[in-house]
Structure 1
């Protein structure tokens, strides 16, 4: 296996360099050679000697762990040796994706002719009593739709479709799921599982609309506002200058010491910096970096908890296990991050700022958020439908968006264009958003399995034991198994939305 480990280490060095360049682009807006870094990786993966070496290992009689290592590398390199046409198309896709990510990262919205950040728009949506102003702020986000399409977003979608067809898969959705070692049929029953909960969801939204809006209908520009009404404490101003110590104290509850990890934080907004939140696992167990944008509101700690969960996860992976680390499902990564993000509503975290008088409002908000998060499935399915329908114009995309949300939730189309392009995943990480929701399903499963095993009602009753459980039962074996196998190994059952819904 020594030769295989050597070429895996060389590839890891190149990917580490690409991650560093991406960090610079996302934090400053400068591109210091991302396309060149992609080319270097592509050339390495297209090298026939490397492919023949990996293929030779695939024929060997190996123990289960080494078999898994080889399988992961083979799945990475195989597509680069099917045809020159595929390789050329892959480079075009990477180039166009990088061009569009530059547009997204440097674009700034305007409201009443004044440049505003995403954080400022969120604050308006959350705090503004004037519903028309909230609506205006919501639709400001659609300003990026046209520039992205003019930059070639539809061309990118069509290139991905073409790539999947040339690869031999039914569509780009099937291709992506297979590449992430998921069953192509994993979403087939979601709509049926979801249906019994739609009436409950819509009824709850109507109840809050009557309570806080004096009307019967909650619109997207009302959602943050209503959440702020349910739990006003989430918009309380807090001093985030000491954010690191707050996070460090919290994670120590689980036996996780941030001081032992090399995690870099960049959390305040500035020009040309991406307005989203990210973790860049530059090199597992060595270097992890977190990008966020905060303005001293309590709810902004959620993104810091989430991204720090990613950072800790990357440091709990063994740096020498380059191949097994590549086999860790994005669902597991997002599940762990979401798990820690959810502690925003738990006393274990909020006691850093408030007393127990806020408990009821945060509990109500957590319960509503869990139910309302079902609407995120609309974004997941919209992502899928982009690759299952003919797209020739921005109007086609908007019509498709409305159709997905109408079919799932009974939504009526807006009078204005729906904001969609501001969500960067559609451009840079297609067929990825299911990782967040499936991560939450996984998170619920992990909590329930732990509580049953330890005879507790909450993981906070035995946080250090839960930290050990997370490491030993989830993180350590996460590269050894495909996601659905790992889920069944932990839960004893196949993946199902019931873990989240029931």
Structure 2
């Protein structure tokens, strides 16, 4: 039997030199095969393929976030759908997914990445479905474009919010609140269409209903979540009833209406908000506060814009590039939204994990928690006096007003989340009826059968997100309590280093409970949030 794998022939064609080189390489390889040092060419190992696909995803998502940033800034002629389709192609290669699922990795990091990629594949097949992305894009564009008609005025979302918070004429505030129904008329049917599509896609690609798939993806269990919701509602109920009674007394009304809620809180700080919290100083103050913790925000791009949502941070390249958009609110509202987005941007900029999937797949409530840790600095008397030149009395007023407003908003956000879960559970229900019933229970106000539910922009663009805001508040207050115990109430660079090491630099390597136990010494609990919300009333 010949050991030569092919006939050795040299012709005299013009390709002779290339043919000789080719033959010599084959001969050399055959010799090495006999020596046991050369193996036949094989496809790249599955781990190497995983590396390559992660790198592709990182680049594509960077392009996606840059595109979404431009669209939110008003370039409505742009679309991110082509990029989403490229992402879907990278993630949804069934041949690769079969190989990846069969792979038996021993390295814990590879095992984690394997699990994350398989989950990402299901998520992408659902959320980047072409029919669904078309509907969501339509909803988002409408959210950004709408102007709300109140009397003879045409208002942006920020202007409508400002009117609700600051106009002393109760009839005008009522008209502004009822104007929220205008976005439901424009977007309500499209959002319901998106809900049905997501449910259908989840049943096709996973063994869970969409809401449960998303909840597990975000690191939460439904039993824990609903238990926390019940604890927060029950344990804050006495303080909330005292708040409603105080509102009726101060506003001189027999019944609190939805259009009274935000006005009541804004009224307490209105006298000094414009002077102490000018919009032009918002970003410099955020950078100053970050600098005190040892963080540099010079590389973060930030712009103000008329948005259909409160504001956002964009994780373009974790550890390298983040962008912020702030809606054109006024006073403390502007600072609150900007500081929250800044907290997100810090998380994205400080992220230090070994893999894109681990950087990008952090538990969502942890991301909300780290953002809220930074926001809470805005309401600490020590910071308000030193950084914003408030008097001690003004700082106390700010702190108490914020606490009571959070009492209302946390309960309202729980109602938002529960309404969403119930609607996904039975999409044939009237979402307005579900929303109004649950909000009446949690806020103690009559919703007047008005379809205002779609004014919450997250229902359309970021489904099953709202519960993460509440759990994020739990995370934030638990972290703040721990850091205060370690460093006192005035934080510096040492506190910043601990926050970075245990929270801001972390991604999906551990669960929420593991991070909280490692960073604070105990599992996640609503105790510190409830303690904050349940303090005794002091404002009149």
TM over 0.5: yes
**Residue 344 (structure 1) aligned to one of 378, 402, 424:** 378
CA 1:234/1:430 → structure 2, altered by over 3 Å: closer, same or farther? farther
User: Does residue 1:495 correspond to 2:531, yes or no?
Assistant: no
- 1:449 and 1:92 mapped to 2: Cα distance? 46
Report whether the alignment pairs 1:439 with 2:478. Answer: no
Q: For each residue in 1:383-421, what CA deviation from the matched residue of structure 2 results, as whole angstroms up to 9, or x when unmatched?
A: 1111122426xxx1211112212344544341x514221
Q: Which residue of 2 aligns with 1:484?
A: 513
**1:134 paired residue number:** 173
CA spacing shift, 1:220–1:407, aligned 2, 3 Å: closer
Q: Any gaps of 5 or more consecutive residues in structure 2?
A: 1-46, 532-540
Query: Residue 424 of structure 2: SS of its match in structure 1?
Result: coil
User: What is the match of residue 263 of structure 1?
Assistant: 300
Gaps of 5+ in 1: 81-85
- Mapped to 2, the partners of 1:401 and 1:87 lie a distance apart of 25
C-alpha deviation, 1:375, in angstroms = 2.6
1:268–1:295 Cα contact (<8 Å) kept: no
How far apart are the structure 2 equivalents of 1:406 and 1:328?
A: 34
| SS of aligned partner of 1:129 | coil
- Structure 1 residues 258-314: Cα deviation after superposition (integer angstroms, max 9, x where no partner): 22xx21111143xxx545311111111222111112255243111111111111111
- Change in 2 beyond 3 A, CA 1:88/1:170: closer
Distance in 1 (alpha carbons) for counterparts of 2:500 and 2:192: 42
2:535 is the alignment partner of 1:467: no
Contact kept? 2:167, 2:263, Cα under 8 Å:
yes
Is 1:37 aligned to 2:83, yes or no? yes
CA distance in 2, matches of 1:186, 1:18: 33
Residue of structure 2 equivalent to 1:365: 401
The answer for the alignment partner of 2:201 in structure 1 is 163
User: For the Cα contact (< 8 Å) 2:122–2:206, is it kept in 1?
Assistant: no
Query: What residue number does 1:55 align with?
Result: 101
Name 1:95's counterpart in structure 2.
134
CA distance in 2, matches of 1:378, 1:245: 35
Shift of 1:201: 0.6
Which digits, 9 at most, give the CA deviation of each residue in 1:58-100, with x for residues without a partner? Answer: x1211x33322332222212567xxxxx769933222211121
Bigger mean CA deviation after superposition, 292-301 or 325-334: 292-301
1:18 equivalent to 2:47? Answer no
Residue correspondence of structure 1 range 260-339 to structure 2 within 5 A: 262-269=299-306, 273-294=307-328, 297-318=331-352, 321-339=355-373
1:354 and 2:372 equivalent?
no
Question: 1:83 is matched with which residue?
Answer: none
Greater shift, 425-434 or 350-359, is seen at 350-359
For residues 386 and 433 of structure 1, the distance between their equivalents in structure 2, rounded to whole angstroms, comes to 14
Cα distance between partner residues in 1 of 2:193 and 2:390: 53
Matches within 5 A, 1:182-193: 182-193=220-231
Q: SS of the counterpart of 2:129? A: helix
Alpha-carbon offset, residue 153 of structure 1: 2.0
Describe how 1:401-440 pairs up with structure 2 within 5 A. Answer: 401-414=435-448, 417-440=450-473
Q: Provide Cα deviations, 1:131-153, integer angstroms capped at 9, x if missing partner.
A: 11111111212111011134x22
Structure-2 residue corresponding to 1:74: 118
Classify the secondary structure of the residue corresponding to 1:14. helix
2:268 maps to which of 217, 230, 233: 230
Q: TM-score, normalised to structure 2's length?
A: 0.82
Number of equivalences: 480
8 A Cα contact 2:308 2:457, kept in partner: no
CA 1:408 to 1:352, structure 2 compared with 1: closer, same or farther past 3 Å? closer
Partners of 2:85 and 2:128 within 8 A in 1:
no
Match of residue 146 from structure 1 = 185
Instruction: Give 1:170 shift.
Output: 4.9
State the Cα deviation string for residues 441-479 of structure 1 (Å, max 9, x = none): 00111112223344x3x2x2x332221111111233442
Aligned counterparts of 1:295 and 1:168: Cα–Cα separation in 2: 41
When the two structures are superposed, what TM-score results if normalisation uses the length of structure 1?
0.88
Q: Is the 8 A contact 1:254 1:465 kept in 2?
A: yes
Q: Say if 1:473 and 1:490, in contact at 8 Å, map to a contact too.
A: yes
Give the whole-Å Cα distance in 2 for the aligned partners of 1:87 and 1:368.
Answer: 39
Alpha-carbon distance in 1 for matches of 2:417, 2:245: 24
